[in-house]
Structure 1
């Protein structure tokens, strides 16, 4: 059985067995949980369906969060994507899907925390896009989520996936790394290439702070999901092209933990610093809660 203590361990095991990361993880989890592979596939299919439904619901132009701070941007992005934009319709629709899920979360909709609610738009923005844009089959997309989940498990064990502990690098950074691994697999890349994609994605979000305005997972969290999607795609593209991370992925994870430990409390989901402490951020907090707090005094 696998320990999920390092991504290099997972890659080595997959290579020795001549299987993909997702195949390795599915078989291992079935053994560890004493469940059939089909049972686990059905469960993952359900999660994938929830992601798809969250995308559809989040694209409603009338959707607004409970706070009233966010909503409607996903629909704007979807309309904009029809023109192709600067980077093309595919990437713009992927961005729209990520925002849709994150806005639906802010509106108290049902989402998949992948790995957290604050980063819930990144995997749908990537893997759901690959399926719905017919870049891969739905079966392949569902399988790829096992590879993504394994990456998340290693990061959770060796660093953190919580903004309150490690900053947003632990949430959106981890989600981008998970998505990058899944994308590489969907494009026929090797487990080693998935590992390089993970490392590249993590390096591009290293040090990202967690500073939610008004303490809500909306501003700037939703737009950071977009950044995570773009980083996941670019990291996967580099790895598939043969670009390697000079720093091994497991060392990147350790570095992320060290950076997270050094981030001050004010930048770890407390809303005491960063964008949350700006005059506009404070005004938004007052508009939502309608009172002064000790934080301002």
Structure 2
């Protein structure tokens, strides 16, 4: 009854059953796994706590990846924002700092939530928790928004891909930004159409982004792309809640993303054979890290 494969189907079920999108997704989980709603919500609350802890760790501890390539940028950005040196304003700079924080914790082998992947793990928690704090939202409201994000991610995975190896970084950071945009729009009281528009805008803004990790590590340029994904997500929310529509519907954008991913050459899909990984500096770093 609660099976859906597209954004349009999810919205239709929500309208027909007179249920929130979050409740539709919870009901689907109950059907599939024979769990109580209480148990399902508890599991999502645990997920939320991991997100919060990753942000705290990335902003307060001296994070350094095993490779030595990354670490400490989240603290620098957080310090700049708190000292009044932000160019984009407190909300945007805070969201970017938190997104980088989670991505740096991932690169340092810390505990994170893959939403939808480890490489794009900072975008959803960084943006959602920044907006939630600014608007004084309770944990239960954030948890509902996380269910909305999970439903959007499920649809993208079913219709296209969330794998950089299959679809490029558009499938990772693009999907994460779409999940974040839809979740935040829901959290802020957006209607069905605004949620769908936020998803579409975020995903199409990053269409075609390649996956080119330097030295094969989820660090350069992945961590800074989490910052870009966060700003993309918030931009999509801003547009959608203002009543601006995506000319191309969300489900068509998802299919377009799939086709673009299929058209990308292997060198640009997580193989580290093209893009930034193939630059002179990228090759030098690879040689230095793996020469032994």
The TM-score range, normalised by the shorter chain, is over 0.9
The match for 1:269 is 270
* Inter-partner Cα distance in structure 2 for 1:181 and 1:135: 19
* 1:32 CA drift (Å): 2.3
The question of whether the paired residues in 1 share the 8 Å contact of 2:91 and 2:131 is answered with no
* 1:15 CA drift (Å): 1.8
When the two structures are superposed, what TM-score results if normalisation uses the length of structure 2? 0.97
* Inter-partner Cα distance in structure 2 for 1:194 and 1:135: 20
* 1:152 CA drift (Å): 0.5
* 1:290 CA drift (Å): 2.1
The question of whether the paired residues in 2 share the 8 Å contact of 1:20 and 1:191 is answered with no
The question of whether the paired residues in 2 share the 8 Å contact of 1:185 and 1:194 is answered with yes
* Inter-partner Cα distance in structure 2 for 1:206 and 1:215: 22
The match for 2:75 is 75
Question: RMSD of the TM alignment (CA)?
Answer: 1.2
The question of whether the paired residues in 2 share the 8 Å contact of 1:61 and 1:74 is answered with no
* Inter-partner Cα distance in structure 1 for 2:31 and 2:85: 46
Map 1:214-233; keep pairs closer than 5 Å.
Answer: 214-233=215-234
Per-residue CA distance 1:130-180 (angstroms, 9 max, x = gap): 233344222111110000000100110110000000000000000000000
For structure 1, which segment, 210-219 or 13-22, has the greater mean C-alpha deviation from structure 2 after superposition?
13-22
Map 1:66-105; keep pairs closer than 5 Å.
Answer: 66-82=66-82, 83=84, 85-105=86-106
The question of whether the paired residues in 1 share the 8 Å contact of 2:197 and 2:245 is answered with yes
The question of whether the paired residues in 1 share the 8 Å contact of 2:199 and 2:236 is answered with yes
Are residue 53 (structure 1) and residue 53 (structure 2) matched? yes
Are residue 198 (structure 1) and residue 199 (structure 2) matched? yes
The question of whether the paired residues in 1 share the 8 Å contact of 2:216 and 2:271 is answered with yes
The match for 1:65 is 65
* Inter-partner Cα distance in structure 2 for 1:17 and 1:84: 48
* Inter-partner Cα distance in structure 1 for 2:194 and 2:150: 17
* Inter-partner Cα distance in structure 2 for 1:270 and 1:124: 27
The match for 1:294 is none
* Inter-partner Cα distance in structure 1 for 2:214 and 2:28: 41
Secondary structure of the residue aligned to 2:199 is: helix
* Inter-partner Cα distance in structure 2 for 1:131 and 1:51: 13
The match for 2:280 is 279
Per-residue CA distance 1:187-217 (angstroms, 9 max, x = gap): 1011221111100011101000000000000
* Inter-partner Cα distance in structure 2 for 1:43 and 1:224: 28
* Inter-partner Cα distance in structure 2 for 1:24 and 1:41: 13
* 1:84 CA drift (Å): 5.2
The match for 1:256 is 257
The question of whether the paired residues in 2 share the 8 Å contact of 1:61 and 1:76 is answered with no
* Inter-partner Cα distance in structure 1 for 2:13 and 2:86: 42
When the two structures are superposed, what TM-score results if normalisation uses the length of structure 1? 0.95
* Inter-partner Cα distance in structure 2 for 1:133 and 1:29: 30
Map 1:12-31; keep pairs closer than 5 Å.
Answer: 12-31=12-31
The match for 2:38 is 38
Structure 2 unpaired stretches of 5+: none
The match for 1:179 is 180
Secondary structure of the residue aligned to 1:59 is: helix
Secondary structure of the residue aligned to 1:65 is: coil
The match for 2:114 is 113
The question of whether the paired residues in 2 share the 8 Å contact of 1:130 and 1:141 is answered with no
Secondary structure of the residue aligned to 2:63 is: coil
* Inter-partner Cα distance in structure 1 for 2:151 and 2:129: 18
The aligned length equals: 291
